[in-house]
Amino acid sequence: MPTTRRKQVHLAAQLPGIHNVTAWSDPRSESQIAIGSFIRLAQTAERGKFDFFFLAEGLRLREHKGRIYDLDVVGRPENLTVLSALSAVTTHLGLAATVNATFNEPYEVARRLATLDHLSGGRSAWNVVTSYDAFTGENFRRGGFLDEADRYTRAAEFLGLTRELWDSWASGDLPADAERDEFVRPGAGHFAHRGRHFDVSGRFTTPRGPQGHPVIIQSGESDAGREFAASDADVIFSKYNQLDVARAFYRDVKRRLATYGRTPDMLKIMPTASVVVADTDEEAAAYAAEITRALVSPQTAIAHLEAVWGRDLSGYDPDGPLPDVEPAADAHFLKGHSVFRKGRGETARQWRKLAEERNLSMRELVIEVNGGQTFIGSPRTVADAIDHFVQTDGADGFVLVPHLTPGGLDDLVDRVVPLLQEKGVFRKEYTGKLLRDHLGVRAPEYTARPVGDEKETR
């Protein structure tokens, strides 16, 4: 009887440099900005045959009650600069960066990503994100200039324009033919675009990279974000790492692809996840509890509650019950964080109900709602759980966020990856050079337009 081929697991790694997801106070934790930390994590991911290494982005330091939110790890270098350096010390690992489509310009982003694709031999990826708030915009003198409803229309046009720029060079536009005395063809790099958000024309300076277009990643969870991913992305990040919820998200996003003439394999769904590995399941559970309490300190717990309640709760005991006051409707104590900007009243009601049902303290509640670690157990337990999640269509793989920098991937790569390889669901060697090869997503069709053909997108 023929057997159905099992899905291959896709793995990526993210430097844990924002929010309270890194145990920076652990004595084994090292610098979040030194190049050595980036190199070690990236090379460990490549040793584990991961698809890519990912750097998130924050364009402004978050503030809590008017001060820098120093419970986060801050001071992150610029993503594409770091990845350019990593391209010189890796050979196959994909290099992915968040770059904001609200506070950048298409020409600059297209040029930087095409450059990274050349430097890395075809391993670049762009996580397209938008920003909603005037708070971030103050760093760019654009505070409040773009309505939230326009975020995705600008992002869609931004992405379309970057693709026009990449396609302004054909594969034969740089012949360097000494016999014909022709180094570059006359029409190379010409572009002209007139749209709602951008009206630009000129010559794009950078020939097409090895991938044609860098891999496009999207991380929106709203309906508009899911449509954007279904129409344009190669990978979508997800926060859904609980299997039942993840399956619903998976089905919803995959079903949207047909509308755009795409098949389910053309978009990879990869939730963020964390892993705690020890010799036994019991040891792993104890270690995970230790990690979680390190990540959610008493100060962190109070800050999370203040972000939802909009009140100063510093007089409350973090190991005591939730505050007996209602949230302040108009107060926002935490700026620059999208999680607590909407529906705070409903969030508070849900949290209070959970705390009462489970008899949770403030700190225990924050630990509970943060979700803790995703995969916990012995190497075999973790490998089986990851495989089951993928085979049952909860995801196509995971973006793993270690709690330590730079050694947080070592146990997974050394102890779990070999078991996934043994199962036949994870590569033993890279079979291609391009990031698109690792992901199994084909390059887009070449869509260059004749010189002078302007595209109206109003």
Cis peptide before 207 (omega within 30 of 0): no
Shared domain for 213 and 336, answered yes or no, is: no
Is 392 annotated among the ligand-binding residues? no
**Is residue 432 domain-resident?**
yes
Using one digit for the tens of pLDDT, what is the confidence trace for 53-67? 999 887 888 888 878
Report yes or no on whether pTM surpasses 0.75.
yes
The DSSP output letter for 149 is: G
**CATH number for the domain harbouring residue 116:** 3.20.20.30
What is the average pLDDT across 437-446?
Answer: 86
Q: Is the pLDDT of residue 1 over 50?
A: no
Listed residues 370, 400, 424: the one ending a domain:
370
Total domains present in the chain:
2
Confidence band for 2, pLDDT divided at 50, 70 and 90: very low
Listed residues 370, 400, 427: the one ending a domain:
370
Give 247-290 as a DSSP string: HHHHHHHHHHGGGGT--GGGSEEEEEE-EEE-SSHHHHHHHHHH
Instruction: Check if the beta carbon of residue 404 is closer than 8 Å to that of residue 366.
Output: no
Q: Is the pLDDT of residue 453 over 70?
A: no
Shared domain for 403 and 443, answered yes or no, is: yes
Residues 367, 373, 377, 381: is their CA dihedral positive or negative?
positive
Shared domain for 256 and 298, answered yes or no, is: no
**Is residue 2 domain-resident?**
no
Shared domain for 336 and 384, answered yes or no, is: no
Give how far the C-alpha of residue 283 lies from the chain's centroid of Cα atoms, to the nearest Å.
30
**Is residue 5 domain-resident?**
no
Using one digit for the tens of pLDDT, what is the confidence trace for 13-43? 998 765 556 777 788 888 888 999 999 999 9
pLDDT: is 61 or 441 the higher one? Answer: 441
Shared domain for 66 and 191, answered yes or no, is: yes
Q: Please give the pLDDT value at position 242.
A: 87
Shared domain for 102 and 82, answered yes or no, is: yes
What is the average pLDDT across 110-128?
Answer: 97
Q: Is the pLDDT of residue 452 over 60?
A: no
Shared domain for 266 and 288, answered yes or no, is: no
Confidence band for 138, pLDDT divided at 50, 70 and 90: confident
Q: What is the mean pLDDT of the chain?
A: 88
Shared domain for 193 and 334, answered yes or no, is: no
Q: Crossing angle, helix 281-295 and helix 379-391, to 10 degrees? A: 80
Lay out the sheet containing 334-335: strands in order across.
67-68, 63-64, 334-335
Is 272 annotated among the ligand-binding residues? no
Shared domain for 331 and 401, answered yes or no, is: no
Shared domain for 311 and 337, answered yes or no, is: yes
**Is residue 293 domain-resident?**
yes
Using one digit for the tens of pLDDT, what is the confidence trace for 276-299? 999 999 999 999 999 988 888 898
Q: Above pLDDT 70, what percent of the chain?
A: 90
Q: Is the pLDDT of residue 370 over 70?
A: yes
Nearest alpha-carbon partner for 8 in 436, 433, 432, 425: 425
**Is residue 338 domain-resident?**
yes
**Is residue 4 domain-resident?**
no
Q: Is the pLDDT of residue 456 over 50?
A: no
Nearby residues of 197 by Cβ (< 8 Å), 6 or more positions away: 153, 154, 157, 158
φ, ψ (nearest 5 deg) of residue 4: -75, 135
Nearby residues of 382 by Cβ (< 8 Å), 6 or more positions away: 275, 277, 284, 375, 376, 412, 416
Q: Which of 231-235, 312-316, 324-328, 339-343 bottoms out in mean pLDDT, i.e. has the lowest?
A: 339-343
Is 132 annotated among the ligand-binding residues? no
Identify the domain containing residue 255 by its residue range: 10-274+375-456
Shared domain for 101 and 216, answered yes or no, is: yes
Shared domain for 14 and 163, answered yes or no, is: yes
Listed residues 370, 395, 419: the one ending a domain:
370
Q: Is the pLDDT of residue 454 over 60?
A: no
Q: Please give the pLDDT value at position 143.
A: 65
E strand segments, 15-158: 52-55, 63-64, 67-68, 94-100, 124-129
What is the average pLDDT across 221-227?
Answer: 86
Q: Is the pLDDT of residue 98 over 90?
A: yes
Q: Is the pLDDT of residue 458 over 80?
A: no
Q: Is the pLDDT of residue 302 over 80?
A: yes
Instruction: Check if the beta carbon of residue 215 is closer than 8 Å to that of residue 123.
Output: no
**Is residue 1 domain-resident?**
no
Q: Which of 123-127, 177-181, 284-288 bottoms out in mean pLDDT, i.e. has the lowest?
A: 177-181
Rounded Cα distance, 351 and 324, in Å: 12
Nearest alpha-carbon partner for 112 in 168, 165, 190: 165
Q: Please give the pLDDT value at position 72.
A: 64
Confidence band for 267, pLDDT divided at 50, 70 and 90: very high
